[in-house]
Chains A and B, each alone.
Chain A
Amino acid sequence: MTMTEVTMAAVILMGASSASLQIWSSSMAEIHNAQRRQLALNRIDGELIILQQQWQQLAQHGPLAPACLAASEQLLAVLQQTPQSAGVERELTLLPAEDGLMVLLRDQNEPGAHRQQLVKPGALRLCEGA
């Protein structure tokens, strides 16, 4: 084997190793990010379950108010008092007329992880529609 061949082999080996290490490094970072995003999704799911339990518990006791808008306002007050999980943003919006309450949950660090649920007091026997 000539000196030139040895040099060429060394250069190719170094190039391949360097490229492999770069791919390795970026892949590890991506896997780490994916785990972080999955944890964010799980956190939001957990927060949603807690809120769902709140409105299901309320529903067991019958109407909060005859009018659905008033029931939505009371539901909003109850959900606002529910402790919030760390790292999760909670946005509660009272919809106009008798359209209910929109619950938006977002992870503070992972914008892709979010849930949006509509709660209609009329669907849970929390109002009579008067």
Chain B
Amino acid sequence: MGLVLSSLSLQATALQSKLYFRSQVQVRSDQDQLSQAAQRLVSQLNLLHPCLLHLPEQDWALQGTACVDANQATSLIQGGEGDLADVRTLDWQPDASGQRVMLLLQLPTVAGGSGRRGLFAIRLGGDPVRAWSIQEQGLLGAPS
């Protein structure tokens, strides 16, 4: 009886290990997608719309007219391009020093997407000011 119970317990542990590995692979896949989206967004801002770097995302369509029109601003917020078209920019929030921005992106919640969100710290610097560093700060689950 002891042997049966311990082998079943071991089997449960093995199954759990398998599921844990799958979840780890999924987390990394989500991290990679979010990181790609961050690279695309920051590249667009640096090269095409640098006037937005210092503005919070909610002001992009209102104040960013010097280097972007309202449609472009909306497109930057609602998604990137190609495979990343559904990744949303939930927040772009420069801090008071003007040297650092917190970026929050979200994967799609429909069509098999996990809805996971990724937080990135962007560093600004140089003359003219541009983003030069993108550091992932962590993943957050989909909002309930």
Contacts and interface: CB of A to CB of B under 8 A. Distances in A.
Interface string B30-42: 0010011011111
A60 B39 CA distance: 16
Interface string B87-124: 00000000000000000000000000000000000000
A20 B132 contact: no
Contacts of A115: 28, 32
**Interface range on chain B (Cβ under 8 Å from partner):** 35 or more
Given A20-B4, A20-B7, A31-B14, A117 B32 contact: yes
Most A CB contacts (10 A, CB to CB) among B28, B35, B130, B132 go to B132
**Interface range on chain A (Cβ under 8 Å from partner):** 35 or more
Nearest to B124: A125
A125 B131 contact: yes
B133 to A, nearest CB: 6
A43 interface: no
A84 interface: no
Contact of A21 (B3, B35, B48): B3
Contacts of A24: 3, 6-7, 10
Interface of B: 3-4, 6-8, 10-11, 13-15, 17-18, 20-21, 24-25, 28, 32, 35-36, 38-44, 46-48, 126, 130-134
Given A16-B4, A62-B126, 8 more contacts: A23-B8, A27-B13, A31-B13, A31-B14, A41-B21, A41-B28, A115-B28, A117-B32
